[in-house]
Amino acid sequence: MRQICLPTGLNEHETRLLDQIIVRKKIARDSYLYRIGDQFTSLYAVRVGHFKTYQENLAGDRQINGFQMSGDLLGMDAISSALHQCDAVALDDSEVCMIPYTQLETLFTEMPILMRHFHRVMSEEIMGEQNVIMILGNMYAEQRFAAFLINLSRRYALRGYSPTRFQLRMTREDIGNYLGLTMESVSRMIAKMRKDGLIEVRQRDVEVFNLSALNKLAAGIDISDSSQASLDLPSVVTEYNYLSPQLTYLQRLWTAK
Amino acid sequence: MRQICLPTGLNEHETRLLDQIIVRKKIARDSYLYRIGDQFTSLYAVRVGHFKTYQENLAGDRQINGFQMSGDLLGMDAISSALHQCDAVALDDSEVCMIPYTQLETLFTEMPILMRHFHRVMSEEIMGEQNVIMILGNMYAEQRFAAFLINLSRRYALRGYSPTRFQLRMTREDIGNYLGLTMESVSRMIAKMRKDGLIEVRQRDVEVFNLSALNKLAAGIDISDSSQASLDLPSVVTEYNYLSPQLTYLQRLWTAK
DNA sequence: CGGTCGATTGAAAGCACTCAATCGGGGTGG
DNA sequence: CCACCCCGATTGAGTGCTTTCAATCGACCG
């Protein structure tokens, strides 16, 4: 773990201090990491596995806020009220780092570097949600699903996995709920993209054939309109960031070893 | 200002320290507080006036992320990348407190109370965006507009203004953009609610006649269905929080005097 | 080899959008 | 002071994207 921490600013002593307050915990598939209304005591960093978080309204409708994978931090929405504001459910058998929040804040005063990292993580959480807002507020079903695949692709790439071959850990219904669509619409978008030769999907296995075409789709550029002089857009288009460009130091720390 | 700060944790010396790094700045209506891509140096707390913040996608479509009023903090999404991720435009002639971020972080190490307040503010920002996600992902046009009015109502109430009479500072188009609707749909929802006797709207002036009915609407409970045994729902319904329950210490601080 | 749950596909309906015309308040200039 | 203009807002009609409802498929599991 030292190799990961030392180059990014924490010394050996500081790394040990941080490590001392963290406790690992296993969460079985389909069980809750925490529930709405639970007392907030810890943040959770995903070490292994996947989670979904969702809110519930008074009518009982659910809205999935996001899917979390290794390195992602859960529970930041609970800081202000000291109560968890959503349910967090494991999609796989998973393992998390429990980070007692009071102790973490105490460490911040001694370790400004750690504090700054934490602020960046919270800021990224805000950016990620703004991305979701853009998807839900402005996009058609096909664009939404394209943006969803691109997001997953980048996040897996950041973690050293293939950006073009990965498994969906959630049901079609979960995807639809997250994207503000029905499960049927998701299914139709998959069928359409498969017919268009952009992706292949068998069950939960996804292979992306044409990531740049997906980017254009998500950006609202009609790829079937071949009358356009150039189908290759400036690199900024394919480089459009649906996600932060690299794993943060903290993400690497709490998924290390 | 001391009366406001001292009871909430900061002593006189600390209050002065914080006050020393803050600079006030006036922003004329329709001008930018910051723009996408601008270097991030400061957070901004609204003292007077209103702002809107929006992102832009590659196709040039805009999505308004939120409307900010006195006490609200802008720019937190820029911390992670050191570049502003959205445009912030004044809806009124406004005044803000510029809070140099590096200096603020330095203060945190000396003033843990201030740091904890800041974490709560960021956490509330996350909750607020999750609220928007719920609106965009799950609600019909009428519910969305009801939720929008309730949100404004609460925020004005927190600031000591009437929760039932206030002015819209943004155009119908802005409202529609924010809610994932067209300006025409917003107009139709206003007409419907007016016909139903829930509100009166003349230009930008809004009067809410029945806040609890609005809450039921937003919660997805059909108020026209009078066959239900009881139209009065448990208090939890009308108490449903679309916003944090009180102004934070920091909000009061930087809007003081 | 059923049974179950998730996924796919089809047909019809609905909600919001698009397009277009009209209204109306506020500001400007004659 | 009034007429005109402009822009935001309203209203109507028709279209379209997504949903709803329903039937079927298919993989996994005991």
The alpha carbons of chain B give a radius of gyration, in whole angstroms, of 19
Measured between CA atoms, how close is B175 to chain A, in angstroms? Answer: 12
Residue A244 above 60 pLDDT? Answer: no
Q: Report the length, in residues, of chain A.
A: 257
Instruction: Tell the residue number behind the tokens 């810890």, with chain if given.
Output: A42
The Cα of A188 is separated from the nearest Cα of chain B by a number of Å equal to 19
The rounded distance, in Å, linking the Cα atoms of A76 and A80 is 8
Q: A142 near A206, Cβ under 8 Å?
A: no
Query: Smallest Cα–Cα separation from A207: which of A162, A173, A256, A249?
Result: A162
Test B133 with A137 for CB contact under 8 angstroms. Answer: no
- The one-character DSSP state at A71 is T
Q: Which candidate from A85, A130, A138 shows the least CB-CB separation from B85?
A: A130
What strands lie across the sheet with B205-208, from one edge to the other?
A: B165-167, B205-208, B199-202
Nearest by CB: A134 against B55, B76, B127: B55
Which nucleotide is the nearest neighbour of A173, by CA and C1'?
C6
Q: Is the pLDDT of residue A243 over 60?
A: no
For B171, the token pair is 């155009």
Question: A126 and B123 in contact by Cβ < 8 A?
Answer: no
* Banded model confidence at residue B243, pLDDT cuts 50, 70, 90: very low
Nearest to B52 by CA among B100, B86, B101, B99: B86
pLDDT at B88: 97
pLDDT of residue B11: 73
- pLDDT in the model for residue A233: 40
Task: State, as a whole number of angstroms, the distance between the CA of B227 and the C1' of D21.
Answer: 26
* Statement: residue B112 has pLDDT above 80: yes
pLDDT confidence of residue B9:
64
Q: Which H or E run includes A257?
A: none
Q: Report the share of chain A in percent with pLDDT over 70.
A: 82
More confident residue, B137 or A255: B137
The confidence score (pLDDT) of residue B216 equals 92
Q: Which helix (H) or strand (E) holds A63?
A: strand A62-68
Across all residues in chain A, what is the average pLDDT? 86
A79, A115, A122: which is closest to B110 by C-alpha? A115
Q: The pTM is what?
A: 0.89
Q: Residue A171: is its pLDDT beyond 90?
A: yes
Per-residue model confidence (pLDDT) at position B239: 39
Within 7 Å: CB of A203 and strand C? yes
What confidence score (pLDDT) does residue A254 get? 67
State residue A8's pLDDT score.
57
* Whole-number Å distance between alpha carbons of A131 and A251: 20
Burial class (CB within 10 angstroms; exposed 0-12, middle 13-18, buried 19+) of B238: middle
C-alpha torsion B215→B219→B221→B223, nearest 10: 20
A212 touching B, CB under 8 A?
no
Query: How many angstroms separate the CA atoms of B82 and B79, rounded?
Result: 5
Residue B60 in this model has a pLDDT that exceeds 60 = yes
* First CA to last CA distance, chain A: 6
pLDDT in tens, A78-95: 999 999 999 999 999 999
Residue A247's pLDDT is what?
62
Percent of chain B surpassing pLDDT 90: 70
The gap between A50 CA and C4 C1' (Å) is: 25
What's the pLDDT score for residue A192? 96
Q: What is the pLDDT of residue A221?
A: 79
Query: In the prediction, which pLDDT does A17 show?
Result: 85
* Cβ of residue B187 lies below 7 Å from strand D: yes
Tokens of B84: 């502003």
Query: Residue B14's pLDDT is what?
Result: 78
Window from A101-115, A137-151, A242-256, B237-251 with minimum mean pLDDT: B237-251
- For strand C, which nucleotides have at least one atom less than 7 Å from a protein CB? 6-11, 15-20, 25-26
Among B residues 82-101, those touching chain A with beta carbons less than 8 Å apart: 85-86
Secondary structure, 3-state, chain B: CHHHHHHHCCCHHHHHHHHHHCEEEEECCCCEEECCCCECCEEEEEEECCEEEEEECCCCCEEEEEEECCCCEECHHHCCCCECCCEEEECCCEEEEEEEHHHHHHHHHHCHHHHHHHHHHHHHHHHHHHHHHHHHHHCCHHHHHHHHHHHHHHHHHHCCCCCCEEECCCCHHHHHHHHCCCHHHHHHHHHHHHHCCCEEEECCEEEECCHHHHHHHHCCCCCCCCCCCCCCCCHHHHCCCCCCCCCCHHHHHHCCC
Which pLDDT score, from 0 to 100, does residue B246 have?
58
**Lowest-confidence region among A14-18, A100-104, A249-253:** A249-253
Report the 10 Å Cβ neighbour count for B203.
Answer: 7
Is pLDDT at B40 greater than 50 in this prediction? yes
B86 pLDDT exceeds 60?
Answer: yes
Q: Over 90: is that where the pLDDT of B177 sits?
A: yes
| Percent of the residues in chain B that have a pLDDT greater than 70, as a whole number | 82
- φ, ψ of residue B169 to 5 degrees: the values are -95, -5
Q: Are A66 and A77 in contact (CB under 8 A)?
A: no
Q: What angle do CA A222, A228, A229 make, to 5 degrees?
A: 145
Shortest distance, CA A231 to any CA of chain B (angstroms): 15
Across all residues in chain B, what is the average pLDDT? 86
- For the beta carbon of residue B149, count every other beta carbon within 10 angstroms: 27
Q: Report how far apart, in Å, the C-alpha atoms of B30 and of each of B27, B89, B173 are.
A: 9, 6, 15
In this prediction, residue A14 carries a pLDDT of 78
Proximity of residue A171 CB to strand C below 7 A: yes
Examine the pLDDT at B28 and tell me if it is beyond 70.
Answer: yes
In this predicted structure, the answer to whether residue A246 has a pLDDT above a threshold of 90 is no
Which A residues, 236 through 255, put their C-beta within 8 Å of a C-beta on chain B? 236-237, 240, 244
**pLDDT surpasses 90 at B3:** no
Residue B108: which pLDDT band, with cuts at 50, 70 and 90? very high
Count of CB atoms within 10 A of residue A17's CB? Answer: 17
Chain A residues within an 8 Å CB radius of B180: 136-138
The per-residue pLDDT for range A9-62, each reduced to its tens digit, is 677 787 788 888 989 999 999 999 999 999 999 999 999 999 999 999 888 899
Model pLDDT for residues B211-224, shown as the tens digit of each residue = 999 999 999 886 65
User: Does position B6 have pLDDT exceeding 60, yes or no?
Assistant: no
Per-residue pLDDT tens over the stretch A184-205: 999 999 999 999 999 999 999 9
How high is the pLDDT of residue B1?
38
- Over range A82-111, report the average pLDDT: 94
pLDDT at A87: 96
Q: Does A22 reach chain B within 8 Å, measured CB to CB?
A: no
Q: Choose from B36, B40, B58 for mutation: most chain A CBs within 10 A.
A: B58
Average pLDDT of span A169-181: 98
> pLDDT digit string (tens) for B120-170?
999 999 999 999 999 999 999 999 999 999 999 999 998 889 999 999 999
One-letter amino acid of A64? I
Neighbours of A58 (CB within 10 A): 16
